[in-house]
């Protein structure tokens, strides 16, 4: 049954992409470069990438912060939603991932829009605060899940009323409801939910997703 469901999810994702997402040779080259470099296949799907793009457009975002770059696929989707004077700052811990991402960002001609910062995200965020980087209109959290609660705390510090905060991979194939899980990623996401529930500065919901990336989901919140 699960195999049949997975096959259906893949086919539906393909159907969505064929009908609603125009062929894009740049993004296809980005995914190919990520695979060739041996990066883990954690990129958002094309339909999810376009969802991020649409959300950034709906928000009218001029400044975007992305925590977790990988190979830059979601970075490019988000950056393309920015106006000509927009800015996206993305943070990546792994130097190899960052090298591949920078090449992909250049391929997409986004060098003037995207600033890629390499290093531990918590250290980079603290440094950004010292640099008085200001607030962002949209913040996408898609890095190591055990630190999700810490990333949320930083996201709130870099927010203003109306900032949209999005967290990826928050359902973990349903494991998010397993209070006995020993998986630090699951526990990080559970603490992320706990913090969202307790935090008065943000109102949020979560959307479960299925598709070529399996069973997972997003948190979407807006700062009051």
Calculate mean pLDDT across residues 181-201.
Answer: 98
pTM of the model: 0.96
| Among 100, 2, 3, 81, CA closest to 42 | 100
Q: Region 169-173: what's the mean pLDDT? A: 97
Task: Tell me the pLDDT tens digit for each residue of 18-54.
Answer: 999 999 999 999 999 999 999 999 999 999 999 999 9
- What integer best gives the mean pLDDT of the chain? 96
102-135 pLDDT per residue, tens: 999 999 999 999 999 999 999 999 999 999 999 9
Contacts of 104 (CB under 8 A, 6+ apart): 29, 30, 33, 34, 71, 72, 73, 75, 76
**Which pLDDT score, from 0 to 100, does residue 6 have?**
81
Residue 215 has pLDDT above 80, yes or no: yes
Which pLDDT band holds residue 1 (cuts at 50, 70, 90)? very low
Q: What are 59-75's pLDDT values in tens digits? A: 999 999 999 999 999 99
Where does the pLDDT of residue 4 fall: very low under 50, low under 70, confident under 90, or very high at 90 and above? confident
What HEC string does 41-81 produce? CCCCCHHHHHHHHHHHHHHCCCEEEEECCCCCHHHHHHHCC
- Which has the closest alpha carbon to 183: 144, 142, 140, 141? 144
**pLDDT tops 80 at residue 3:** no
Using alpha carbons only, give the angle 66, 72, 77 rounded to the nearest 5 degrees: 75
- pLDDT exceeds 90 at position 208: yes
């Amino acid at each position: 049954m699960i195999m049949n469901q997975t096959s259906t999810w893949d086919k539906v994702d393909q159907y969505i992409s064929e009908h609603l997402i125009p062929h894009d040779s740049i993004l296809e080259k980005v995914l190919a470069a990520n695979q060739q470099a041996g990066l883990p296949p954690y990129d958002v799907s094309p339909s999810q990438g376009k969802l991020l793009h649409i959300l950034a457009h709906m928000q009218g975002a001029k400044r975007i912060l992305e925590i977790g770059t990988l190979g830059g696929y979601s970075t490019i989707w988000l950056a393309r939603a920015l106006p000509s004077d927009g800015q996206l700052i993305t943070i990546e811990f792994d130097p190899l991932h960052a090298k591949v991402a920078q090449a992909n960002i250049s391929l997409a001609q986004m060098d003037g829009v995207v600033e890629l910062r390499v290093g531990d995200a918590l250290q980079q965020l603290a440094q950004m605060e010292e640099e008085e980087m200001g607030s962002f209109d949209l913040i996408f959290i898609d890095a190591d899940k055990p630190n999700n609660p810490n990333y949320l705390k930083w996201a709130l510090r870099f927010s203003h009323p109306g900032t949209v905060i999005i967290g990826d991979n928050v359902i973990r194939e349903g494991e998010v409801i397993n209070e006995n899980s020993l998986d630090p990623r699951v526990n990080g996401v559970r603490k992320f939910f706990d913090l969202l529930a307790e935090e008065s500065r943000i109102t949020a919901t979560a959307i479960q997703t299925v598709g070529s990336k399996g069973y997972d989901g997003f948190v979407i919140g807006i700062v009051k």
